[in-house]
Amino acid sequence: MDLDLTPEERAFRAEVRAFLAEHLSEDIRAGSAATPSVFVEPDIGQAWNAILHRKGWLAYQWPREHGGPGWTPVQRYLFEKECAEAGAPNLTVLGLKLVAPVLYTFGTAAQKAHYLPRILSGEDYWCQGFSEPGSGSDLASLQCRAERVTDAAGDRYILNGSKIWTTHAHWANRMFCLVRTDSSGHKNAGISFLLVDMQQKGISVRPIHTLAGDHEVNQVFLEDVEVPVSDRVGEEGDGWKLAKFLLENERGGSCHAPKLAYDLSLIATAAVEQSDGHGGYLANTVDWRRRVARARLDVEALEMIELKILSEIAHGQAPGPQTSLVKLLASNLRQEVDLLAMDLLGPAGLELDTRRPLYGPNAPPPVHSRATQVAAARYLNSRAWTIFGGTNEVQAGIIARTVLHL
């Protein structure tokens, strides 16, 4: 793995920096910095998506033949790193990075032609219907039932059941959903992958508020919801295969290290002027320096793993089970960085305003600063990192079986 950039890659990095300097507005940057939830809010995210779409960079991870710019893995990494260091918001992951690769890899020509352009334009905003009450880490035990019916009204599935922890279901008009179409065999074999229209009768969304007061996730109830068979991706019973493909992209489809490094650099800089309570500065205390150094080394180690995966992708290999290692390490580091931010701010970081949003003209005024207003909520919300996308325990089991062959 060669870590030196070519002249062409350095020129590309300069182009990205110039674009961000010109087009990443202070409003979007400030909104991203003041968002404590894990996923960027649609008003900020869709505004940034539209800017990138006009440039042709929104689908930067997609192949050229499906609407992407055709970037190399190194270019994709450089783009993510520059966006992180510029304070840009995360992209709308559920449509762009999760369901889109499933569609252009396994979807029919009609599905690709219909859905991929609508993801890019923002016409479709997606949520993910995987987890259920009682079927979280053991996803294969899901019970949301899809019965196939063929009559004068057409060939379709009738869905009944519920999904939970459904991020942004209250904003979404589409949901990609795992359902049980067969209960007669092995539980993994009877699952199918459907594309559900959220704007139809029979669907109700109940909000779930986090400890921080954010409305990010929901429970979705489906009662006699209809899905045309043409909106099934893959064959009936292929859902488990497609879900594994999607989750590998979720766990390792992006580079986490640049954002972690950026957030850590802000914390380290702020500590230079933060009192230690004993007449000195926090940045000069031995324990603080040790914690920051350990976190920085861990972030650099994660970056090397992510770069190694990118190198393998560049040589034609698909993301594999090593993405579970990325997910596990990134989740733990996200929580450690947010804990460092809380410890940096001390008692001032305990401010927990549950009014939203914390950006824009109607944002509630902070008691101390915008950073102190966001820190506790972000810390509480980041507890979810070691749960969503597969818990740390699930990731450890995958690593043991498929990477270490234990």
Task: Express each pLDDT in 100-158 by its tens digit.
Answer: 999 999 999 999 999 999 999 999 999 999 999 988 777 889 999 999 999 998 999 99
| Torsion 93-95-99-101 (CA) sign | negative
Burial category of 339 from C-beta neighbours within 10 Å (exposed 0-12, middle 13-18, buried 19 and up)? middle
- What is the rounded distance in angstroms from the CA atom of residue 231 to the CA atom of residue 194? 6
Q: Is 189 helix (H, G, I), strand (E, B) or coil?
A: coil
Helix, coil or strand: residue 214: coil
Catalytic: 250? yes
The count of C-alpha atoms lying within 13 angstroms of the C-alpha of 31, restricted to the half-sphere facing its C-beta, is 22
**Quick one: tokens of 304?**
């090397």
How many Cα atoms are found within 13 Å in the side-chain-facing hemisphere of 403? 14
Q: Is 67 helix (H, G, I), strand (E, B) or coil?
A: coil
Q: Is 214 exposed, middle or buried (0-12, 13-18, 19+ CB in 10 A)?
A: buried
pLDDT at 252 over 70: no
322-345 and 257-271 helices, crossing angle to 10°: 20
Portion of the chain with pLDDT greater than 90, in percent: 82
In this prediction, residue 2 has a pLDDT band, given cuts at 50, 70 and 90, of low
HSE of 320, CA atoms in CB hemisphere, 13 A: 14
> CB–CB of 305/298 below 8 Å?
no
DSSP state of 51: H
pTM of the model: 0.93
Which of 250, 303, 306, 336 is an active site residue?
250
Q: What is the DSSP string of 389-406?
A: TS-HHHHHHHIIIIIS--
CB 370 within 8 A of CB 206: no
Which of 54-58, 278-282, 325-329 is most confident?
A: 54-58
* Total Cβ atoms within 10 A of residue 330: 25
Task: Give mean pLDDT, residues 22-42.
Answer: 95
pLDDT by residue (tens digit) across 296-328? 999 999 999 998 888 887 787 777 778 889 999
